[in-house]
Amino acid sequence: MSRTDDPVALDEWYVVGRPEDLSIGRPVATRLLGAELTLGLAGGAVTAVETETGRALPVTLAYGHVWTTLGTPTRGLPPIAEFDETDRRLATCGAVHVRASGLRLVENFLDMAHFPFVHTDILGVEDRPTVEPYDCEIRRDVDEVWATNCRFWQPQAAANAAGGQMSDYLYRVARPFTVLLYKTCPSDPARQDVIGLLIQPTDEDRSIAYAFVLVVDAVSSTTEIIHFQQTIFLQDRIILENQRPRLLPLSPRAETPTRADLSSIAYRRWLKEKGLRFGIDRREAA
């Protein structure tokens, strides 16, 4: 397919790679919203060009990743205050390719009910499958979807977890394809680790997922932190690749009620309000 004409999708910033994966003189081909892009390094700066037209695209380096846009975003990247805290460590986990709409990836990330069955004995245990009530709202002041007061029993909540803990979660969908998670830090219950899932929607039904972890963890090696996240995400990848349709239906009735939980309903309503079309199953649209 060629570049989408969906203005809502075009007018956003997206991650398209990591700076350390670019080297001088070796352009990298990638895709965004159906358009071919060429990334490169020129004079120490990262460049992004829409391959077909030769148009230079704006580039921002932030949160360990390269961001660009094909349109004219009305707002910048989502602010993440924890990046200013100097005792935190950032680990970026690379790129994982998934044959599914990026919106499916966000919705899976929001769904706690799958922890015991998909991330068995890591993020959940099969004999404690219940998702306790939590709060969810579309925050009009920042135009984000927040799920708060989420609690889940986790046998191994992070790479440095010495045992099980009741994890407190806060989910923040900052942009349609960008979602953040704040969860109890195993080494300091007063603080929260930040995990980001940054999605590059290459095509409507294909995505590249980038994850970062911004943690207070003096114990684990960066490799251990990355491997922990890769393990979790590859468990999700199998589920995501087998979901049908690959695009996200907006009607909650289109799928089983267990998946269409509170945060999923809010997320879908928010996407509908925005009028986003890219990555959405439009067959049911009435």
Partner 1 sequence: MADRPVLFDYELSANAYAVRLMAGLIGIAHDRRPVDVYPGRETEGADFRALNPRGTVPVWVEDGEVLTSVAAILWHMARGAPAWQGGDRAAETIEWLAFAERDLAAADAARLDAMLGLASPVVDPVAAARRAFRILDDRLARQGIDGAGFLVGAEPTVADVAAFPAVALAIDFGEALEAYPKLRAWTRRMRALPGFVTTPGVPDHL
Give the footprint of partner 1 on this chain (CB under 8 A): 18, 20-21, 92-97, 99, 208, 221-224, 226-227, 230-231, 234-235, 237-238, 241
Cis previous bond, 79, omega within 30: no
Report the alpha-carbon distance of residue 216 to residue 219 in Å, rounded: 9
Hey, how many other C-beta atoms are within 10 angstroms of the C-beta on 92? 23
Minimum separation from the CB atom of position 223 to partner 1 (A): 4
DSSP codes joined into one string, 190-245: EEEEEEEEEEEEEETTEEEEEEEEEE--SSS-HHHHHHHHHHHHHHHHHHHHH-SS
96 binds, among Fe ion, partner 1, none (CB under 5 to 8 A by kind): partner 1
97 binds, among Fe ion, partner 1, none (CB under 5 to 8 A by kind): partner 1
279: nearest Cα among 176, 188, 192: 176
Q: For residue 54, what are the contacts with CB-CB under 8 A and spacing of at least 6?
A: none
Nearer to partner 1, 154 or 264 (CB): 154
Nearer to Fe ion, 174 or 211 (CB): 211
Backbone angles phi, psi at 240, to 5 degrees: -65, -40
Minimum separation from the CB atom of position 92 to partner 1 (A): 7
Whether the CB-CB separation of 228 and 253 falls below 8 Å is answered with no
Minimum separation from the CB atom of position 229 to Fe ion (A): 11
255 binds, among partner 1, Fe ion, none (CB under 5 to 8 A by kind): none
Q: By CB under 5 A, is residue 236 in contact with Fe ion?
A: yes
Could you give the angle at the alpha carbon of 165 between the alpha carbons of 232 and 169, nearest 5°? 65
Minimum separation from the CB atom of position 38 to partner 1 (A): 15
Nearer to partner 1, 22 or 254 (CB): 22
Report the alpha-carbon distance of residue 266 to residue 272 in Å, rounded: 10
- As a whole number of angstroms, the longest Cα–Cα distance in the chain is 56
Minimum separation from the CB atom of position 240 to partner 1 (A): 12
Hey, how many other C-beta atoms are within 10 angstroms of the C-beta on 141? 5
Nearer to partner 1, 231 or 251 (CB): 231
Nearer to partner 1, 165 or 207 (CB): 207
249: nearest Cα among 263, 265, 236: 265
21 binds, among partner 1, Fe ion, none (CB under 5 to 8 A by kind): partner 1
Minimum separation from the CB atom of position 236 to Fe ion (A): 4
137 binds, among Fe ion, partner 1, none (CB under 5 to 8 A by kind): none
Nearer to partner 1, 234 or 265 (CB): 234
